[in-house]
Amino acid sequence: MAQKREKSTLRKLIDERGIKDLDGVQNLVKELTSGLIQEIMDAELEEELGYSKYDYKNKQTDNARNGHYKKTVISSQGDVDLSVPRDRNGEYEPQIVKKHQMDISEIEDKILFLYSQGTSTRDIEKAMHELYGIDVDATRVSKITDKILPIIQEWQNRTLESVYAMVMLDAIHYKVREDGMVVKKAVYIAIGTDLEGKKDVLGIWIGANESAKYWLGVLNGLKNRGVQDILIASVDGLTGFSDAIEAAFPKTEIQRCVIHQIRSSTRYVSYKDVKAVTAALKPIYKAPTEEAALAALDEFEQNWGGKYPMAVRSWREHWDELATMFKYPEQIRRIIYTTNAIENFNRQLRKVTKTKSAFVSDDALLKQLYLVTMQITEKWTMPVRDWGNILMHLMIYFGDRVEVRI
């Protein structure tokens, strides 16, 4: 788990400890691994005793905590020092690291990995018992995975870059149990591309429904975490979305997703005409200039406006935001004209969460989305293709708003 922590958090720890070489980094990873296992064992003992530390009013046993003893085990990062908790009656038997177990390299992160892949608590219990002889019931899985909630909170509140070249905003919906009922929740997601051309998930937020008011709260949250400017925002067609962006980042240029626009306009089209209408729309958004695009829109209106006036009206009403891309070269246009990048990210989330008909709580949903996000984003190591050329154009278009670190 320590290896999957957010890069910025690791960098902060490295800077604070003055780590200058690989040995220092490995020692830090071992320390983080030891800390997580320590927390899991403390959670095990808490479950065994039936009350949390210092919560004596809920204590219903004559047993109690009785300090710790030291133990060194072999991990994939080398020797790891553990501080194993003890109980007064000697009844507690550690499960994550057995009493006489000296090698933990095969079971590190297994529970969290299985959980992140959408594995049910029942199947996690079965897998851990059959593969490692560890008894982990649903309650213990929940307690173990709850240990990452502070890590998620830290990740959600981490300091961000001051300027992002592009930010994509979208929402994905899940069913969550709340007060004995299953309700639909919107999960808001923001993916940013910084001035080095590297993508990152800026945050994941769970709200009651998709609304401009909630998005304004999300955007203000980004400002509070250090974001001072966003050059271009790519958004779907949510009503009021543009107002929320303009309120939080008034200089940001807004590009409405063309794919969402096509889907929206073809809602008014008969099924037998959808293919032809979609093909007729292509010359509009593939045009080399805005003038050529408007001419293509005029032609589309002549051919289809009489039969589907609402489809034409939709393009006319949103033209200012649809046409933003035409001022930029192809390298930038292909990035901003659609929110495909964030939709691809959403598809990867759905692939893991599709087995869940409903999550038991917001926390359960957030834990799984965070763990999957860490697995996805750890592969985002390379900048956007041809970023050097893109950055040169951004510097010309946006001037001193682009501060490049040399």
245 φ/ψ sector (left φ>0, alpha ψ -120 to 50, else beta) = alpha
Note the pTM of the prediction, 2 decimals. 0.68
Report the b/e string of 385-400 with b at 16+ CB within 10 A: eebeebbeebeeebee
Which spans in 235-361 are helix H?
A: 241-248, 258-265, 274-285, 290-304, 309-317, 319-322, 330-336, 340-353
With a CB cutoff of 8 Å and minimum separation 6, the contacts of 156 are 203, 204, 205
**Which pLDDT does position 361 carry in this prediction?**
86
Mean pLDDT in runs of 10 for the chain (406 residues)?
49 63 63 74 78 63 79 73 82 75 60 61 62 60 72 91 92 87 89 94 84 84 95 82 89 92 88 93 94 96 93 92 93 87 86 80 88 87 90 92 69
**Which pLDDT does position 346 carry in this prediction?**
86
**Which pLDDT does position 223 carry in this prediction?**
95
Residue 219 near residue 249 (C-beta atoms within 8 A): yes
**Which pLDDT does position 113 carry in this prediction?**
65
**Which pLDDT does position 224 carry in this prediction?**
95
Full DSSP string of 159-181: ---SEEEEEEEEEEEEEEEETTE
**Which pLDDT does position 66 carry in this prediction?**
77
SS3 state of residue 330:
helix
**Which pLDDT does position 58 carry in this prediction?**
63
Residue 82 bridge partners (DSSP): 71
Rounded to whole angstroms, what are the CA distances from 271 to 86, 307, 311? 68, 13, 14
**Which pLDDT does position 45 carry in this prediction?**
79
**Which pLDDT does position 22 carry in this prediction?**
54
Topology of the domain covering 162-256+357-406: Nucleotidyltransferase; domain 5 (3.30.420)
Pick from 42, 17, 47, 43: nearest CA to 30: 17
**Which pLDDT does position 210 carry in this prediction?**
64
**Joined tokens for residue 327:** 């001022």
Residue 391 near residue 197 (C-beta atoms within 8 A): yes
Kindly state the helix (H) or strand (E) to which residue 289 belongs, with its residue range.
none
Kindly state the helix (H) or strand (E) to which residue 35 belongs, with its residue range.
helix 22-49
Sign (positive/negative) of CA torsion 105, 110, 111, 116? positive
**For the chain, domain boundaries:** 2-108, 110-147, 162-256+357-406, 258-338
Sign (positive/negative) of CA torsion 344, 349, 355, 358? negative
Residue 194 bridge partners (DSSP): 164
Residue with tokens 């989305």: 369
